[in-house]
Structure 1
Amino acid sequence: MALFLAGVPLSYTYIVYGVTYLTKYIHFAYSEATFITFIASAVYLVLTLPFAYLTDIIGRKPIVLAGLIGEAILVFPFYFLIVKYPFFIVVLTFYIIEETLHAIYNGAYGQMLAEIFPTVSRYTGVAFSYNLGVAILGGFTPFIVTYLIATLKTPLAPIYWLFPLIVIPIILVALLYKETKGIDLSTFIE
């Protein structure tokens, strides 16, 4: 669960690969693509901390699930609409919505990731799962998405990489994560 929580390739697909995707497949100017990803990243930066704080009030599980379920729902219209309507304002709006959902998820999953592991192995568990998840599932994203687009010959191909990697953590969190809101983690050993 920790590996998949850390490895959801949202930033790697929408922001890191986003400039390449928008310039090569949607035919935006480089300056427009970087502006869109910059604005979306700024929205993400501003909203992540408030959503992290909200996890102390509501709990980690509902916030993580809300962000991930929102991302799973958005991934299809995001790609279908920006391919069909490649207008600056449409793409910018979808990027802002996506990064808002990403902020919801990302603001909560860090605490969740730490709370999966018992206190005695927390640092090792978080470091190992985070770095492995990010390296494998996130780091290879630009290569995988480029390969999928070239192989399937459609700019909609990122959906095939993103959607399963959003749904898997939804299932794992829904079934396996025990909410830790209000629990003293120094006594938490499961």
Structure 2
Amino acid sequence: MSDVDKCLGARTYSESAFGPDNATDICSRSGGTCVNTEGDYYCSCPSGYVGDRYGCSKINNNKARMAIIGIGLGALFVLVCLWWLYKIMRRRKRERQLKKKFFKRNGGLILQQQLSSGEEGNIEKTKVFTSKALEKATDNFNQNRVLGQGGQGTVYKGILPDGSIVAIRKSKIDDEGKVEQFINEVVILSRISHRNVVKLHGCCLETEVPLDRTV
């Protein structure tokens, strides 16, 4: 027995809202073909339509279109997030490499040797600050914080998180010979403890020009 014959022998709609038409007539009128299943039947519909026991109905293209747009926007959002994450990680990596380069160029290795030698107790108290800490203390080296300028560099007023006020010098170093001079100055000042001499708290070597902090 063919599918059509089975559908003809299946339930009719003589007592339903569909009138006396049988399943095959209802299905064919809506553009489909009646297909028999075990104990039931459904309409097999052409492309662009969906079928059930009551015939074929056109697929809502708006819903499909909105679903496609939603998936596309979601994928685009993920790609943008991944791109920004890549940019941030790349920038941070470049910043770390640049800080290491400046630290080495500004005599950081020499100063570390001096600090690790422990020849003087005061040298061990000399702290190496990060550039972010000094930028925050000087409001990103705001011109309103400038205390003075000279041949050795520019001095800024710095305010620490505990409220104490310090002087932060941004040195002028235009040749490698002055790098060693700066490190020697840091070591000498760290050894001096006198009320008439400014006290050196530490320095920063991970910027393009070295910085020192006194109080």
What TM-score does the superposition give when structure 2 sets the normalisation length?
Answer: 0.22
More helix per residue: 1
Q: Normalized per residue, which structure has more strand?
A: 2
Larger radius of gyration: 2
* TM-score, reference length from structure 1: 0.24
Structure with larger RCO (C-alpha < 8 A, sep 6+): 1
